[in-house]
Amino acid sequence: MNQTYALVPQPVSVKQGEGFFQCRGVPVISGDSIFKNEIDTVSAQFRADWERCGCADNTGGAAGKIFCKKEDMKEEAYRLLITQDAVTVSAGSGAGIYNGLQSLRQMFLGGCDEAVSIPCGEIEDRPRFGWRGLMLDCSRYFYSVEFIKKLIDTLSLHHINVFHWHLTDDQGWRLPIKEYPLLIEIGSKRREHRLSGRFSGGFYTEDDIRDVIAFATARHVEVVPEVDFPGHASAILAAYPGLGCTGGPYQVEDRFGIFEDVLCAGNDGIFDLAAAAFDTLARLFPSAYVHIGGDEVRFNNWNECPKCKKRLAETGLKTPQELQSWITVRLAKMLAERGKTAIGWDEVLEDTGQYKLPKNVVVQSWRGREGGIKASGLGHRVIMSSSKDGCYLDYRHSPDPEEIGQRWGKSTVFQGYSMDPITPEMTAEQAALVLGGQANLWSELIYAGKIAEYMIFPRICAIAESLWTAKEAKNFEDFKRRLPIHQERLDRLGILQYRGNLEG
Ligand SMILES: [Zn+2]
């Protein structure tokens, strides 16, 4: 069986030689003891991949040998040396070994019912960016832990290493906080019109969260939680109406959109809530980052509310818009006290006259590239995920009206392939502040894991290549050649995929 590697994302260097490494049954991985965790994790993946296609492994552990070797190499980099007798994966870290083994796993996913033949050769690889992420909105739709784990596993096959977990929004709060039990009792459920107006929803228990983090960590995926302040707060207000400007009544939103009711900037109670949320996140999540949202805040209530007016007078600020900056500064400081760095959507850059955004706050650019360009110019680290560059996976794959997704935009595979987190406007200093990029899946219309898969794949394959592969090594024509081979691997993992026009 002749084949090329056809890896996604494309490695930095691929040299194909003579002959084949052949393997019957589940390959056996061994190696230096510091890589025990990676060897255990990937061995279990190999066994699961085999079982999924219904093939028995009758080799009794005698199948093709894979050896993991420690070598001095950059974090996340790896080398694959494929000879007729064995495959050697070399790396300087567990992350590098894991990446190398995932590239190998892709090759094995090409077949299993017969002997797998992989051409001999050598692959050298390392990432262009350190931050390669996907955000999943678990508020508009409450995805199961099982789905999230399947997703993280499949993302890691593409060297995606950040899972941005959107845990709170107007339509549901998913994070238990001991001091605020009503966030779950009331804030996690909403009237669901698809279910004849019955209340539905859910939340992740602390055990669920630990389970997801352990699963992701074993795959070298960092889980970054997001809790939104001060907008997108209807679920908080339904549970604790005293935290709003009008006192309510409020409901966990059963509509989609942007709402006037936000947290009251004049009420110190909102910081008590944030402190309890941050304490919980700091206890559960090992990530150095907490995303605090900050997007789409409506200021009309802050203009009318006596408490907000008092706050304006006390702080000497002129406009309610500036109060958001005042809140962001305070939240970032609270996170810093807990050893965490704040990330905010690009609105946190606005109206920052008197309360400058602290330098260490990371800005996630979403309304275009402008936020990332401006933020890096001000010395902030940035994550690029422009809705205009194919990173918004809630948009349709193409203008076809029968496609799933938001009507106001499209995100084609080609756009995702063409996105570059470093824009021509950036200086070298600015470019150095670009951590990487992300795709984001908002779930107003995506009310099942299966639909989420269809929206994510194969667009994330293109975005993974934009974030991993050296710019010079990218080539859309070559990607189009590799993609059908790769999509068969994803079929085998049971992933539902879009297979239409890649250029919309
Ligand atoms: Zn107020």
Catalytic residue flag (residue 185): no
Instruction: Give the mean pLDDT of the chain.
Output: 95
Q: Distance (Å, rounded) from C-alpha 97 to C-alpha 258?
A: 44
Spatial distance between the Cα atoms of 203 and 196, rounded to a whole number of angstroms = 21
Cα of 165 from ligand 1 centre, angstroms = 29
The one-letter amino acid at 460:
I
Active-site residue, 192 included: no
SS3 label, residue 221: coil
Catalytic entry in 208, 211, 296, 444: 296
* Residue among 313, 299, 288, 290 at smallest CA distance from 263: 299
Is the previous residue joined to 11 through a cis bond, with omega within 30 degrees of 0?
no
Check the CA dihedral 241-244-248-252 and report its sign: negative
Task: State how far the Cα of 316 lies from the Cα of 120, in Å rounded to an integer.
Answer: 69
- Reply yes or no on whether 159 is catalytic: no
Percent of the chain beyond pLDDT 70?
98
Confirm if 489 and 109 have CB atoms less than 8 A apart: yes
Q: How far is the centre of ligand 1, averaged over its atoms, from the C-alpha of 481 (Å)? A: 56
Cα–ligand 1 centroid distance for 297 (angstroms): 13
pLDDT digits (tens, 9 = 90+) for 81-100: 999 999 999 999 999 999 99
User: Ligand 1 mean position to 308 CA, how many Å?
Assistant: 4
Span of 52-61, 172-181, 221-230, 240-249 with lowest mean pLDDT: 52-61
Cα of 123 from ligand 1 centre, angstroms = 59
Say how many Å lie between the CA of residue 235 and the centre of ligand 1: 17
Spatial separation of the C-alpha atoms in residues 391 and 402, rounded to whole Å: 21
Of the listed 76, 137, 169, 346, which one is catalytic? 169
Query: Angle CA(222)–CA(225)–CA(231) in degrees, nearest 5?
Result: 150
pLDDT at 2: 36
Specify the pLDDT at position 147: 98
Beta-sheet strands, E only, within 268-348: 289-291, 341-345
Q: In this structure, are residues 155 and 216 in contact, taking their beta carbons and an 8 Å threshold?
A: no
**Tokens matching residue 379:** 């010395």
- 341 close to 361: Cβ distance less than 8 angstroms: yes
Global model pTM greater than 0.85: yes
Under 8 Å between Cβ of 170 and 234? yes
How far does residue 306's CA lie from ligand 1's centre (Å)?
Answer: 7
pLDDT in tens, 362-419: 999 999 999 999 999 999 999 999 999 999 999 999 999 999 999 999 999 999 999 9
Helix 320-337 × helix 269-284 angle, to 10°: 40
| pLDDT of 1 above 70 | no
- pLDDT tens-digit readout, 100-124: 999 999 999 977 666 788 999 999 9
Tell me what the mean pLDDT of segment 471-490 comes to: 96
Among candidates 12, 8, 14, which has minimal Cα distance to 119? 14
If you measure from the C-alpha of residue 263 to the centroid of ligand 1, how many angstroms do you get, rounded to a whole number?
7
Q: Which of 159, 164, 232, 486 is catalytic?
A: 232
Distance CA 91, CA 99 (A): 9
Cα-to-centroid distance, 172 and ligand 1 (Å): 22
Give residue-wise pLDDT tens across range 212-246: 999 999 999 999 999 999 999 999 999 999 999 99
